[in-house]
A and B are shown apart, each in its own frame.
Chain A
Amino acid sequence: SAVISQKPSRDICQRGTSLTIQCQVDSQVTMMFWYRQQPGQSLTLIATANQGSEATYESGFVIDKFPISRPNLTFSTLTVSNMSPEDSSIYLCSVTNAGGNTDTQYFGPGTRLTVL
């Protein structure tokens, strides 16, 4: 399995500011995903981070609000831009193809974001 770390683990931010979350994997992976888990709700996919090309966003999520970078096969960032209290959530990085197994997704510990 892959070892995934996220920074920061948590943050409290002011409305209107932006926060960049980092995801680091200890091995090269084909696919990286960013999920959001709002309080009391399930996980919702924000986008798939593609190495060498633009991220693929799910319905309801746009690049201007959630810009994503994926400069190599072990690292990605998600920025939450112009934050509002509604963005308070846990943001999770996930990877697949870790260890050659394309069917299993592994999750990072999450970043707990609170927007005041």
Chain B
Amino acid sequence: AQRVTQPEKLLSVFKGAPVELKCNYSYSGSPELFWYVQYSRQRLQLLLRHISRESIKGFTADLNKGETSFHLKKPFAQEEDSAMYYCALKVTSGSRLTFGEGTQLTVNP
């Protein structure tokens, strides 16, 4: 069965510093990977997905099949980036998501 691991439950950086939220997965096939974000008092929402290869709010994530990783990166963190971030995996189109445990990011002024 597939599994998603986010090794850091808490991550704290200063404003303007680079940030990397780690995500590793285990799945023998070709998964689709996503990052979801939940800001305080807001609902869970999609941040980005690997097939789009896009940058959202300055965040990027590259799927590394050799290392089975999908780390989320931003070169200069902002205070408004403080939120809970979940990495998620889907094995076939339209099927369910498997979520990691989440990383609470705090960006300090």
Interface: A75 (CB within 8 A): no
Q: With the chains together, A41 CA to B43 CA distance in Å?
A: 16
Give, as a whole number of angstroms, the nearest-CB distance from A47 to chain B: 9
Interface residues on A, range: 20 to 34
For A96, the chain B residues whose CB sits under 8 A away are 94
| Binary A-proximity of B67-109 (CB < 8 A = 1, otherwise 0) | 0000000000000000000100010011011111110000000
Give, as a whole number of angstroms, the nearest-CB distance from B44 to chain A: 4
Task: Given A42-B86, A107-B45, A109-B43, decide whether A33 and B94 contact each other with a Cβ distance below 8 A.
Answer: no
Q: With the chains together, A30 CA to B95 CA distance in Å?
A: 11
Task: Given A43-B86, A96-B94, decide whether A103 and B102 contact each other with a Cβ distance below 8 A.
Answer: no
Binding site for A on B (CB under 8 A): 32, 36, 43-46, 49, 51, 86, 90, 93-94, 96-102
